[in-house]
C-alpha cells in the first residue's frame, strides 16, 4: 500500500461555473483555471499520482494542452485512475478537506462523494470530504478562492511479473 498527498487552490473568476467534486454549485462566480477548475478533484488527482510516484496533475494535464481546456475534472480523474491501473495500482480510499468561505458545502457532500467514488471505481464509503472555513484569515478567508487538501491510499492490484532470471526466487 502507498499513500499520497495532494493540494490545490484556485481563485474565483467571473463568467465561470463553480464545480467541486464534480457537482455544480449555484454561485455568481466560479473558479479560474484551464479545465473546470474543480479544486477538490484536482487535489485528489495529485494525491493519487503522488502515491504511485507518477508525477503531478500539471505533468499529465498541462494548461498548454487544449484537450483539457474547460474539461471535466472527473474525466481527468478517470484518466489518472487509468494511469494507476497501468502501473498495477488501484485506489483504496481518499480523504479530502476543503477550505471555503462560500458556498456552504455540507448539503452537497453526499453528491460529491458519489461522483468521486464513481470516477475512482470505489464505493462512496471509501470517499471522505470535510468542509471548513478559514475564519476570515488570508485569501481564502477573504473569499478570494477555495483550497483543498487530499490524501489517497492505493494498493497494488497484482505483483509485477519478472522475466525469468530477473530477480525473485
Binding site residue list = 8-10, 34-35, 42, 56-58, 61-65, 132-135, 142
Helices (H), 9-108: 39-51, 57-60, 73-86
Distance of CA 73 to the CA centre of its chain: 8
**Grid coordinates 474543480 are at which residue?**
38
Q: Give the Cα separation of 81 and 99 in Å (integer).
A: 25
**Known binding residues for a divalent metal cation:** 8, 10, 42
Give the DSSP letter of residue 38: -
Backbone φ, ψ for residue 51 (5° rounding): -60, -35
Q: Give the Cα separation of 40 and 168 in Å (integer).
A: 41
Backbone φ, ψ for residue 23 (5° rounding): -115, 130
Residue 99 · residue 43 · CB < 8 Å: no
Q: Give the Cα separation of 76 and 58 in Å (integer).
A: 11
Amino acid at each position: 500500500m502507498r499513500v499520497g498527498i495532494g493540494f490545490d487552490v484556485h481563485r474565483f473568476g467571473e463568467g465561470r461555473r463553480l464545480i467541486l467534486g464534480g457537482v455544480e454549485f449555484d454561485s455568481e462566480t466560479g473558479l479560474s483555471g484551464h479545465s473546470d477548475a474543480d479544486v477538490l478533484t484536482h487535489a485528489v488527482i495529485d494525491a493519487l499520482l503522488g502515491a504511485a510516484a507518477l508525477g503531478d496533475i500539471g505533468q499529465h494535464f498541462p494548461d498548454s494542452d487544449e484537450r483539457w481546456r474547460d474539461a471535466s475534472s472527473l474525466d481527468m480523474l478517470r484518466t489518472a485512475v487509468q494511469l494507476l491501473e497501468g502501473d498495477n495500482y488501484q485506489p483504496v480510499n481518499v480523504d479530502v478537506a476543503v477550505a471555503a468561505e462560500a458556498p456552504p458545502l455540507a448539503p452537497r457532500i453526499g453528491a460529491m462523494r458519489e461522483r468521486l467514488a464513481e470516477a475512482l471505481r470505489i464505493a462512496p464509503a471509501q470517499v471522505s470530504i470535510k468542509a471548513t472555513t478559514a475564519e476570515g484569515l488570508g485569501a481564502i478567508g477573504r473569499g478570494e478562492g477555495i483550497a483543498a487538501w487530499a490524501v489517497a491510499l492505493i494498493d497494488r492490484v497484482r505483483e509485477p511479473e519478472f522475466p525469468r532470471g530477473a530477480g525473485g526466487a
